[in-house]
Structure 1
Amino acid sequence: MDSAAYYLGFDFSTQQLKVIAVNEQLLVVYQDNVHFDKDLPKFGTQGGVHVHSDKLTVTSPVLMWLKALDCILDRMKSSGFNFSKVKALSGTGQQHGSVYWKTGSREVLNYLPSEHPLHIALQTCFSIRDSPIWMDSSTSAECHHLEKSIGGAQVLANVTGSRAYERFTGNQVAKIYKQKPKEYSQCERISLVSSFAASLFIGDYAPIDYSDGSGMNLLDIHEKTWSEKCLNACAPDLKEKLGSVVPSSSVLGNVSSYYVQRYGFNPNCRVVAFTGDNPASLAGMRLEEGDIAVSLGTSDTLFLWIKEPTPALEGHIFINPVQSQDFMALLCFKNGSLMREKIRDNCSNASWEEFSNILRSTPPGNNGHIGFYFDVMEITPQAVGIHRFNAENQKVSEFPKDVEIRALIEGQFMAKRIYAERLGYKIYYEVNQINRIFSVHMRE
C-alpha cells in the first residue's frame, strides 16, 4: 500500500455495503463489506429488506445504511488504512430506492459533528424512515395514473425511457404523497440511494445523476431535465424536492470536513457523483458503442450501449453514464438460470458438462424447432408457460432431450436479440465494425 494515491468506491446494494480501494495501477489495496442481516441484526431485515404484510410493500431502514457506513469506515480506520492518500471517491446505489430528508436536514449535513457517528448525528433527519426500494410492487394505481396523465404507456416511455414501473421513484413518491401527506410536506429533499450516499460524503444535498435519474419515470432523457408533466402527475412541489440533475461523471466537490476530522481524509479528496448499480456495471465493464453485456444470473440482464434509442414498452432506456450524449439500454428476463437449471436437471442428469456436450452435438437452428420457456411470469415479454414449436410451426407438447436443450438456449438468446434491437441496438455487418458480447456473473 505504498502508492501515491488511492481511489475509493462504495456500493450500497440491497443486502450489503461494500467498499473497495485501488491504487493508481488499479490494484486492489483494500476491500470489505457489511452484511446487513448478519452484521446489523438489530434492524431485523431479511435479505437487507423488510417485506410488509401486504407482500407488495418492500422497504429498507435508512438508519441501517448509515450504521453500515459507520461500521465500514471504523473498520478501515482500525485496520490502519491511510485515508489521507485517498484522492477521490465515488460509488453506486441500488436503483429505484428513495430517501426523504426532513426539512432542516441540510444544515445538519453541513455541520456534522465529527465526535458522533452518522447514524446518531442524522437519526432525526428523515421524514420517511423506511425507504421504498426496487423490490416494492405496491404502486400499480400510481403507475396507471401516471401513464393516463401523460397520454399512455408509449408516450411515457418516449419521454422517460420506460413505461410506468411500480418500483420507479415517481410512482413511489406519488404513493407517499397520497398515503402520507404530512410526511411528504415535511420533506425538503428526495434523494435516490446513490445521491443519498454522495450527500453523506459532501456534507450537503448531492444532485441526482443523469443515469440513475433515468430510472424514475420523471426525467426527460432527451432534454436531460425533469419532465414537468410527469412531476405534476405524481406530486406537488416535486421539482424543488428533487433538486438538479448532473452528468454521472460530475465532480460534486471535496469530501466533508466531518471525514477529515473523524477519519483523516485529505481535505482535497474529490467526490464524484454516485450512480445506480446498473449504469455502474456498464461503466465498470468499459463497454463501447455496439457492445452488449449479458449477465446470466437468476434473472438474465442485458446492458447495451446505443446512440439512437427507440424506447419500447419492454425494457428501459437510461442516459449513458460514461457519455451523457449517448444512451444505455437495459433488459431484464426473469426466467434466467433457474429455467436453465430445470432443463439441465430434466435433460442432462443435472450435469452442466453433459448439458454442454448435448448442446454442441445439435445443429444451430435446431432443425427448425424452437421453444419459449417461462416457468414463472416473465417480465420481457409478459408471458408464462412452456411453448414448443416444431419445424412446421405447429405447437407440440414435448421435445427430445437434445432438441429441448438447444430450443431453450436458442429461444432465450433470440429473445434477447429481438428485444435489444427493438430498443435501438444495431447488428454490424460491415467488415470493419464488430459487435462485442460480454458475459458476466453478477452477485449481490
Structure 2
Amino acid sequence: MGRGRLRKLKTPIGSEPTSRSEDASGGLEASQLKVIAVNEQLRVTYEENVHFDNDLPEFRTQGGVYVHSDRLTVTSPVLMWVKALDVILEKMKSSGFNFSQVKALSGAGQQHGSVYWKEGAHHILKNLSPDLPLHQSLKACFSVSDSPIWMDSSTASQCFSLEKAVGGAQQLANITGSRAYERFTGNQIAKIYSQNPEVYIQTERIALVSSFAASLFLGDYAPIDYSDGSGMNLLQICDKRWSATCLNACAPGLEEKLGHTVPSSSVLGSIAPYYIQRYGFSPDCKVVAFTGDNPASLAGMRLEEGDIAVSLGTSDTLFLWIQEPMPATEGHILCNPVDSRAYMALLCFKNGSLMRERIRDDCASGSWDEFSKALTSTVTGNNGNLGFYFDVMEITPEAVGIHRFNKDNNKVPDFPKEVEIRALIEGQFMAKRIHAEKLGYKIMPKTRILATGGASHNKEILQVLSDVFNTPVYTIDTANSACLGCAYRAIHGLVAETSVSLADVVKLAPAPRLVVTPAAGADEVYLPLLKRYAELEQKVLYNPTSSS
C-alpha cells in the first residue's frame, strides 16, 4: 500500500451571518506534512506544507526516510513528524489563520508506519505545556526513535512465522484481509519484540502513524480506526476485533499495548487544551478518528458502492468499494472508511506507465498521438491476440517478461505494432478486472470508473478501459485527494451518528466528468476474452525452477 498522511483540520460553521466556516485538513506523507482548509462550500481556502528534507534538514533524511545499510530496513524519525507539526502550526499562525473557526479536524498517516510510546508518555501527553513546542515536550516519549514505515521489507521471517501460526497465507488473508506483508505492522512489532524485547516491554502504547497524529491533537492516546487497523495483519476484518491468534504470534500482551479499535467516523473527543491556549482553537473543536492515506483517498475521491477508482501512474492502483469481500493471497481487503458495513479493496500493478511508455517508444515513435491512432485502428478484442507485458516482476500476477498469444492460444514471438499496442492496453485492463473480481468485486448497473493519473488524459486508452469493464469512465481531480478525504471525513464525523452519509456531506464538491461510455457490443467480445486471459495468465506465472 502507498504512502500516508497526517490529515485534517476542520472549521466550524459560524453562528453569525458574517462569520466564515472552513474545514482544514493536513497530511503526513513520507516526504512532507500537508494541511488544507476547506469552507462550508467545500472550497479549499488555505494550503500549507512542510517538506521534511528541506524544512527540517537537521534530521538528515532523504525523501523523509532513512534507508539503513541492509537496504531492507527503512525508518523515519518520530520527532521529525512532531516538529513538522510544530512548524506547520506556527506557519498557519503567522499567516493569520483563524484557528477558532475550526469545528472539527481529522487526518491520515502513511499506512503501515508504527509509533512506540514509552512508559510514562501518556502522563506527558495529557499535560502538555502551551509554552513549549510539541517536540520539546515529547522528545523523551518514544521507546523506538525511528519508526518502521511502509517502505520497510526486513521482516520476512516474521511473515513466515505469522502465516504458519494461523494455518497459511490464505487463512491469514481470510482473517485479516491480506497475507503477511513485510511492511504490515504486526510483523514489524514481532521484529522489535524478537530483537529488542526490553524495548517492547518499555512500550506502553503502540500506535499507527494515523492514530499517533490523532493523539497529538487529542492530548491522549487515540484509538486505531477500523480501516487503517485492517492494514496490520492483526485485525479480524469480519468483526473488527483483534485476532488473538495473530496477536499471540507477534508478541505477548500486545492487545493492551494496541488499545481498542473504533469506526473511522468516530468523534474521539475535543481538541487538547494545549491547542486552545497556544493557537486559539475553539474548545468545541472535535477530533475525528484519523485513518490511513489509502482509505482517506477513497473518501477524497468520493467513491460509492460499486465504484472503482483507477490510478494510472508509474504503478497502476485500483481502489474498489466491495460489499462481499473474498480475501485472496494477492491484493488487500480493508474495512471501508466511509461505510462500516462495507469494505474497500486495493490492488497494485507495478508495470504501469513505464510499460506503456516503452511500448509507445517501440511501436509509435515515442508519440502518444500515434499510439492513440493505433488503438482506434484496431478492432475491439484485437482479433483474439492477447499479451502480457511485465518489464519488472509484477505483483499481481507474479510474473515477468513479455508473453504473446495468438487467437489459437499459441505463443508467438511478436505482433504487428498496432496489435502490440492494443494487446498491451487490453491486457492491462483485463488483468485489473479479473483480479478485482477475484477479491469479490461485482460490476453493478450504477458502477462508475473514476480514472486518475497520467494515462487518464488519453481518451483512447480510457475507451478500452470502459469497454473491458463495460462501464462508463469519469475523470476526477484528485490533487490532495487524501487531504480532502479527511476534510470530508471530519465533516461526516460530526453528523455520522444521525445516519447522514458521506455522499450527502460532499454534495457541493465538484462532480466527476464523464469521458467515455462502453462501445456497443464490447461486453460480448470481452467476456470470452477475459476467460481466456485468466487461463493463459496461469501459463506465464513466474517459476524460479523453470529453465525457460
TM-superposed deviation, 1:341 = 1.3
- Aligned partner of 2:484 in structure 1 is none
Give the deviation of 1:353 after TM superposition.
2.2
Cα distance, 1:182 vs structure 2: 1.3
The one-letter code sitting in structure 2 at the alignment partner of 1:435 is T
**234-243 or 341-350, which deviates more:** 341-350
**1:5: how far off?**
2.1
CA distance in 1, matches of 2:410, 2:61: 49
Letter of the 2:84 partner, please give it.
Answer: A
Aligned pair partner of 2:235 in 198, 212, 219: 219
Please name the residue that 2:134 is paired with.
Answer: 118
Residue 371 of structure 2 is matched in structure 1 by 355
Asked if the contact 1:84–1:266 (Cα under 8 Å) also holds between the matched residues in 2, the reply is: yes
The more displaced of 60-69 and 346-355 is 346-355
The answer as to 2:388 corresponding to 1:378 is no
The percentage of aligned residue pairs carrying the same residue is: 72
- Displacement of 1:386 after TM fit? 1.2
Which residue does 1:426 correspond to in 2?
Answer: 442
1:345 aligned counterpart, secondary structure? helix
String of CA shifts for 1:376-431, please: whole Å, max 9, x gaps.
11111111111111112111222221111111111111000000000000123xxx
Report which stretch shifted further, 64-73 or 36-45.
36-45
Alignment of 1:31-46 (within 5 A): 31-46=47-62
Which of 372-381 and 96-105 deviates more? 372-381
Please give the alpha-carbon distance, in whole angstroms, between the structure 2 residues aligned to 1:62 and 1:3.
37
Matched, 1:109 2:121: no
Residue type of the alignment partner of 1:294: V
Say which structure, 1 or 2, has more relative contact order (CA 8 Å, 6+ apart).
Answer: 2
- Deviation of 1:9 after TM superposition, in Å, equals 1.1
Helix, strand or coil at the partner of 1:317: strand
Q: Which residue matches 2:516?
A: none
Match of 2:305 among 280, 289, 308: 289
What is the one-letter code of the residue matched to 2:452? V
CA–CA distance in structure 1, aligned partners of residues 257 and 141 of structure 2: 15
CA distance in 1 between partners of 2:280 and 2:431 (Å): 52
Contact 1:3-1:24 at 8 Å conserved across structures? no
Task: Tell me, yes or no, if the aligned pair for 1:3 and 1:23 is still in contact at 8 Å.
Answer: no
**Is 1:230 aligned to 2:222, yes or no?**
no
- In the superposition, the TM-score normalised over structure 1's length comes to 0.97
Question: Hey, what's the Cα distance between the residues in 1 that align with 2:389 and 2:315?
Answer: 13
User: For residue 314 of structure 1, what is the aligned residue in structure 2?
Assistant: 330
Stretches of structure 1 lacking an aligned partner (at least 5 in a row): none
Q: CA deviation at 1:443?
A: 7.2
Tell me, yes or no, if the aligned pair for 1:36 and 1:68 is still in contact at 8 Å.
Answer: yes
1:8 pairs with one of 12, 18, 24: 24
Aligned counterpart, 1:164: 180
Q: How does 1:37-436 map to 2 (within 5 A)?
A: 37-428=53-444, 433-436=445-448
Structure 1 residue matching 2:46: 3-state secondary structure? strand
Question: CA separation in 1, counterparts of 2:200 and 2:435?
Answer: 38
The TM-score normalised by the length of structure 2 is 0.79
SS at match of 1:339: helix
**Alignment length (residue pairs):** 440
Contact 1:6–1:88, Cα closer than 8 Å, also in 2: no
In the alignment, is the contact (CA less than 8 A) between 1:87 and 1:266 conserved in 2? yes
Q: Secondary structure at the match of 2:106?
A: strand
State the distance in 2 between where 1:154 and 1:31 align: 43
The CA distance in 1 between the partners of 2:345 and 2:449, in whole Å, is 14
Q: Within 2, Cα distance between the matches of 1:55 and 1:3? A: 53
User: Whose strand fraction is larger, Structure 1's or Structure 2's?
Assistant: 1
Q: CA RMSD in A?
A: 1.3
